[in-house]
Structure 1
Amino acid sequence: MTVHFVLPGGVADPTSPSGGNAYDRRVVRELGGVREVVVPGPWPRPDAAARSALAAALAAVEDGSAVLLDGLVACGVPEVVVPHARRLRIAVLVHLPLADETGLPADVAARLDAAERECLRAAAAVIATSPAAARRLAAHHGLDRVHVVPPGTDPAPPAPGTDGASRLLCVASLTPRKGHDVLVRALAEVVDLPWTCAFVGPPPRSRRWSVRDLVDRHGLGPRVELTGPLTGAALDRAYAAADLFVLASRAETYGMVVTEALARGVPVVASSVPDALGDGGVLLPAGDVGAFADALRRWLTDPGWRHDLRERAARRRRELSTWDETAAGLAAVLATLRP
């Protein structure tokens, strides 16, 4: 069965890595029999040109065909997608509910939420990347079932780290949802201790949000390195040097960077990633500066606790699923779309 996979234009942009894009690229490679349909545009709030391109792409698909739509493309434009749901067998892959993006005006979030609900209710199948996300989508949008197909991980050698404690790593796009402001404020509370931290990720699109300004305002410029996005060997080196992985996200559907760290045995302190983290680290309340500062201080001063977190990470490393399993799970869902 050939599956038409409709993807946002950013999936092919190496300068804008994201968990959703990485997931999409990997399952295209693993599944086989996938026909990629890339639709550029400012998703999930497209301009007229992007809407027209999506409408044309769907219109070109033969009646009765199986179509997998990335939720970033599909969920904001039910007026484009829903009419085709009557003649195509559509599945929608939700990487992040649209209204969960931090910083949206209330009226914009409400419109995106309503649009997403209309789109998902019309789909033949809805897929989420974590059990928690699936439960939330089902309850919030009144869906009978949401399939769960979590991301996989690639085998990786254990990270040697730096000195066992002081090198911290955060891999995340520099956007408000990823909570760099929380992390910077927590780091400022442990400035009396030895540490450095690499912030790996693309810069924000909006000039109103500047992580560099936050870092400089708290006097952490010499100790926080903003590397920009890293891929391939450069990203591998960043993980290899890490003693502790930190992520202060306000919302995540899964959190692939967490399992990438755990695949290397790197301990994790994070928020909003219960399914990715499992028992492999410390899960903190989102937005809680004090909790992050306390965890960082304990990590930097308590050798016994560091040993315990490394043991947890090592156990979780052995439990992580593979991309083969992800592809098999997605193929099983897509098979239900057969007429």
Structure 2
Amino acid sequence: MVKHLVFAVPGDIATPTGGYAYDRRMIAELKQLGWRVDLIDLGDGFPWPDHATRASARMRLLTTTAGCSIVVDGLALGVLPEAAAQVAGRNPLTALVHHPLALEMGVSPGQAEALRASEKAALAVVQRVIVTSATTARLIASEYDVPSERISVARPGSDPARLRQGSRDSTVRLLSVGAVVPRKGYEILIAALATLIELPWRLTIAGDRTRDLHAVAQLDSEIARHGLGDRIATLGAVSAEQLAALYAEADLFVLASHFEGYGMAYAEAIAHGLPVIGTTSGAIPETVPPDAGLLVPAGNVSAFASALRQAVGDDGLRDRMASASRAAAARLPTWRQSAEVFARALEPLT
């Protein structure tokens, strides 16, 4: 018998972020494994939907076939606790948590507390929680009171990737990948690079510039304030082909994230054999082995600048980290392996 699953996401699943990329790929892989997967769009504006969107999302979930297993992306489920309680009474319900909503940057303490309470209430009624890292699993268990036996870890997968070729001259090509939102720490990266003016580097930032216009304006302002416009290219969202080419041409991956529930861009950098400069926040140390990168505390400009200075100024260090990165790439799970873990978590509910 074909296993049937409803996968509910907030808004357009083609949105260029790591979370949506995970959802897209997991749906595709589950279909390859023989599942029938129906997609539901719960509407835009999450995690701050208006009343009409909230009501519409509730109705879309409640009109699914009774008894059919439903997976809801946590960006929506975390702010729909009442709907989750109703749905869980008629359908096996699984929450897919990329990272807790309250840990997103750019929210006030009051908003963070409201998100934490809402998500905790929603997670209390679901039968299963799937997360993308062991770090997030520990957070969900310790801070949201979800029993560990109800949590499964299905890490994002990786595709075979062309190993980096690097630059062909004396300029060190830096690559940063991620939507321009406060959590990605671009203000830390720019402030750190401003202290390395005398070194030969160029930075390319590839990431959606439509999600947070205030963060985009702040990034552009900081680049201009430090006089770095001729050394930093901000491309916005790029195609998969363009992104693969950027990884292959880079010498060093750099991203100053304040928190990552997994950090798919870091894993992509490892898959391409790139050395990494990042932070120790969230699940990043799970993805980036100590010898493949330099990880420093999040939000620390001087520490990030010091790591950049070491890596930009030392070809041998970059080569050693790249070698370790290539070795780590072989240990990353494939998307098929990740989907098999995902499927095993759902099978008891189907």
Q: Which residue of 2 aligns with 1:19?
A: 18
Structure 2 alignment gaps of length 5 or more: none
**Distance in 2 separating the partners of 1:206 and 1:67:** 30
Q: Which residue of 2 aligns with 1:275?
A: 286
1:48 Cα offset (Å): 2.0
Q: Show the 5 A alignment for 1:139-158.
A: 139-145=142-148, 146-158=151-163
Q: Which residue of 2 aligns with 1:285?
A: 297
Q: Which residue of 2 aligns with 1:28?
A: 27
CA gap of 1:165–1:321, structure 2 versus 1, over 3 A, is farther
Q: Show the 5 A alignment for 1:129-278.
A: 129-145=132-148, 146-163=151-168, 166-203=172-209, 205-209=211-215, 210=217, 211-271=219-279, 272=281, 273-278=284-289
How many residue pairs are counted as aligned between the two chains? 335
Q: Which residue of 2 aligns with 1:296?
A: 308
**Distance in 2 separating the partners of 1:208 and 1:132:** 29
**1:242-295 deviations in Å (ceiling 9; x for gaps):** 100001000110000111111111111111311221343222111111111111
Q: Which residue of 1 aligns with 2:66?
A: 63
**1:134-190 deviations in Å (ceiling 9; x for gaps):** 001110011112211100000012110114860000001111110000000110111
Is 2:83 the counterpart of 1:77?
no
Report the residue type matching 2:226 in the other structure: H
Report the residue type matching 1:196 in the other structure: R
- Of residues 322, 332, 349 in structure 2, which corresponds to 1:320? 332
- Of residues 323, 334, 337 in structure 1, which corresponds to 2:346? 334
**1:78-136 deviations in Å (ceiling 9; x for gaps):** 02221211121000000121101101011111111000000001100011100011001
Report the residue type matching 1:336 in the other structure: P
Whether the 8 Å CA contact 1:82–1:122 is kept in 2: the answer is yes
Whether the 8 Å CA contact 2:17–2:208 is kept in 1: the answer is no
Which secondary structure state, in structure 2, belongs to the residue aligned with residue 310 of structure 1?
A: helix
- Of residues 76, 95, 99 in structure 2, which corresponds to 1:96? 99
Which secondary structure state, in structure 2, belongs to the residue aligned with residue 96 of structure 1?
A: coil
Identical aligned residues as a percent? 37
**Distance in 2 separating the partners of 1:95 and 1:306:** 30
Q: TM-score, normalised by structure 2?
A: 0.93
Which secondary structure state, in structure 2, belongs to the residue aligned with residue 62 of structure 1?
A: coil
1:204 Cα offset (Å): 5.1
1:206 Cα offset (Å): 4.1
**Distance in 2 separating the partners of 1:185 and 1:251:** 18
- Of residues 3, 6, 17 in structure 2, which corresponds to 1:4? 6
**Distance in 2 separating the partners of 1:303 and 1:251:** 29
1:318 Cα offset (Å): 1.3
**Distance in 2 separating the partners of 1:52 and 1:206:** 25
Which secondary structure state, in structure 2, belongs to the residue aligned with residue 319 of structure 1?
A: coil
36-45 vs 157-166, greater mean Cα deviation: 157-166
1:307 Cα offset (Å): 2.1
1:22 Cα offset (Å): 0.1
Q: Which residue of 2 aligns with 1:115?
A: 118
Q: TM-score, normalised by structure 1?
A: 0.96
54-63 vs 125-134, greater mean Cα deviation: 54-63
1:63 Cα offset (Å): 2.1
Report the residue type matching 2:48 in the other structure: R
**Distance in 2 separating the partners of 1:95 and 1:10:** 17
The CA RMSD measured in Å over matched residues stands at 1.3
122-131 vs 311-320, greater mean Cα deviation: 311-320
Whether the 8 Å CA contact 1:69–1:93 is kept in 2: the answer is yes
Report the residue type matching 2:8 in the other structure: V
Report the residue type matching 1:278 in the other structure: P
Report the residue type matching 2:322 in the other structure: R
Q: Which residue of 1 aligns with 2:43?
A: 40
1:228 Cα offset (Å): 0.7
CA gap of 1:82–1:162, structure 2 versus 1, over 3 A, is same
Report the residue type matching 1:313 in the other structure: S
Whether the 8 Å CA contact 1:199–1:227 is kept in 2: the answer is yes
